[in-house]
Amino acid sequence: MATSDAGGAGVFISYRRADASWPARWLADQLARQFGEGVVFQDVDSIRPGDDFAAAIEAAVGACSVLLAVIGPQWLAAEGDAGRRLDDPQDWVRLEIEAAIRRRVRVIPVLVDGARMPSASELPPSLQGLARRQAVALSPASLDTRRLVSVLEIALASGESGQQRTGTRAPEFPPPARAGISRLLTSALHDASALTGREKANALSEIIGAAIAVAPERVEWLTAEAETAARSIKNTRPRSEALADIAEVVAASDPGRAEAIARSIEATSEQSRALADVAGAMAAADPARAEAIARSIKEFQRSRALADVATAVAAADPERGEAIARSIEGASARSRALAGVAEVVAAADPARAEAIARSLEDMSQRPSALLSLATAVAAADPERATWLAAEAETTARSIEDASKRSRALADVAMAVAAADPARASWLAAEAETTARTIEEPELLTVLWDYGRWSALAGVATTVAAADPERAEAIARSIEDTSKRESALADVAKAMAAADPERAEAIARSFKDEPWRDIMLADVAKAMAAADPERAEAIARSIEEFQRSRALAGVAGAVAAADPERAEAIARSIKDKYWRSSALASIARFLAEPDQ
């Protein structure tokens, strides 16, 4: 009999030699490569003469977690000397499956070579339970074991054999992280499979993000499914957006396919966005290809793509990252990209970061670059950090454009708030005063981003975490109702972690119920890491339409600190799309906790 050190976490493959010998041996080889040689039990040829073979089979099956019943075209009708072999109580295949059912070992029928699942009426009474088991089909045209492997990962992770189920209960141990992630992804995929169109494509994209780290062998199939769902969307824009999302998520693992998907997008603007996302996602792994893709983009997205590539490359190759950023056309875009590079290299090479920050042509970008550098060097050189923050303040005051000056002053106020709250308060007041001096443009609705109220909203949002009371007062002072509500929404999210009570009160002050529920969902997600109980309570208080989205946001936010709670919240979600999204989000965090 085959033996193993697997300790009960094994797979027993039951088959008839005359019916399915080759598929069974092929399957054994595949599973041995996936789980290890000692985990797969295929034959009982080593039963010695004189042994009770029924007892030997009982012991072998009972030592496993799963029995795979490989069923070929002749499995049901195979004849022996005394008639149909399945009707013989001493038939080895019958004994194997009977032992598994009796010992409560999971039994999975595997249909090969076009075999059908037998009905209960065609089986002996002791095997009729087999007819109720969900089967997996394999054929020469599609030797795809991914679905089967997913189920086996969960079963084997428990390490519980049939012997343990029927005897004294074995001690319980936490399952390996990989098995936990697989369980989450299996549930997420189950929900995603019930969806269609945009929802299915989006759900599968999120699943792919986690599968890349823990189940790369399944990414190709998942990508194909997601792409099929996306291409089934009739309207061009949502179809293009769904394809762009898929391209971005697979870019790091399969850059060729990601680029092909992006270039197949019909809508020019979405194609450019997708290519920019793909370039940024693959930059760390393949900087030359990423840069080439970015430079092939003809629209304004080229600058963003090159900036993303420059930032990604700078961590490993600061010189190249800076060179890419300096090649970008337009002083503002170039300065923004260089500021990103400076932030990335600040910890490892503060001298280079400082030189880059001082070279920025767009003066409005310099304060944020100097503040990033100050943060990076604060632990090692606090005096220099203080000096850099002071320079950022001076630079902010020198910015001619009042809107940009007010935001830069607010950035400085936020940066110094912890160390010098009095100074931060003065700077925030100066930022607010500056914003109030701005004249409103005539085309207010079109040029909202450049007006007084936009500047005030920017200041309020920036200082919200450090000074929630001031932020709320600034936002409420905005006269236009829609702009005021938009500002309050941003402020509430920004302060949620620091002042959850005030953030919730702001959200509940909205009179329009749908808008209030959206706000509460956003606030719940924003405060979840700091106050998970309050966040969950807020999410559950929302009307059903937004509740699922709110709970999904909370589940994703608490995954780092309390993955069990996160999973429980996710599984309580009624909407299949948001439940799938939440489970995939938790799985992705567990797979890549540093992301």
Question: Environment class of residue 52 by beta-carbon count within 10 Å: exposed (0-12), middle (13-18) or buried (19+)?
Answer: exposed
Average pLDDT score over residue span 251-265: 89
Token pair, residue 216, equals 């790369």
Q: What is the largest CA-CA distance in the chain?
A: 101
Identify the CA nearest to 47 among candidates 11, 96, 80.
96
Q: How confident is the model at residue 7 (pLDDT cuts 50, 70, 90)?
A: very low
Tell whether the torsion through CA atoms of 85, 90, 95 and 101 is positive or negative.
positive
In the 8-state DSSP scheme, what is residue 142?
B
At residue 178, does pLDDT exceed 70? no
Helix, strand or coil, per DSSP, at residue 13: strand
* Run of H or E including 36: none
Instruction: Please tell me the predicted confidence (pLDDT) of residue 109.
Output: 92
At residue 456, does pLDDT exceed 70? yes
At residue 180, does pLDDT exceed 80? no
At residue 140, does pLDDT exceed 60? no
Task: Give how far the C-alpha of residue 543 lies from the chain's centroid of Cα atoms, to the nearest Å.
Answer: 26
Average pLDDT score over residue span 273-281: 88
Distances (CA, A) of 172 to 65, 85, 164, 180: 15, 40, 11, 15
Helix ranges restricted to H, 478-575: 481-495, 500-508, 513-527, 532-540, 544-558, 563-571
Q: How far apart are CA 355 and CA 373, in angstroms?
A: 11
pLDDT > 90 in the chain, percent? 40
Q: How confident is the model at residue 525 (pLDDT cuts 50, 70, 90)?
A: very high
Instruction: Please tell me the predicted confidence (pLDDT) of residue 319.
Output: 93
Instruction: Please tell me the predicted confidence (pLDDT) of residue 157.
Output: 64
Angle at 73 between CA 70 and CA 78, to 5 degrees: 90
Instruction: Please tell me the predicted confidence (pLDDT) of residue 143.
Output: 56
- 458 or 21: which leads in pLDDT: 458
Identify the CA nearest to 504 among candidates 512, 496, 494.
496
At residue 536, does pLDDT exceed 90? yes
Identify the CA nearest to 336 among candidates 361, 301, 315.
361
Adjacent-strand bridge partners of 451:
none
Q: For residues 478 and 462, is the Cβ–Cβ distance under 8 A?
A: no
Q: How far apart are CA 393 and CA 395, in angstroms?
A: 5
Per-residue model confidence as pLDDT tens digits over 79-116? 888 889 999 988 889 988 988 888 888 899 998 878 88
Q: How far apart are CA 172 and CA 170, in angstroms?
A: 6
User: What pTM, to 2 d.p., does this model score?
Assistant: 0.65
Instruction: Please tell me the predicted confidence (pLDDT) of residue 315.
Output: 86
Average pLDDT score over residue span 196-222: 87
Q: For residues 356 and 348, is the Cβ–Cβ distance under 8 A?
A: no
Instruction: Please tell me the predicted confidence (pLDDT) of residue 134.
Output: 84
Overall size of the chain counted in residues: 595
* Domains of the chain from N-terminus onward: 11-173 (3.40.50), 409-495 (no CATH)
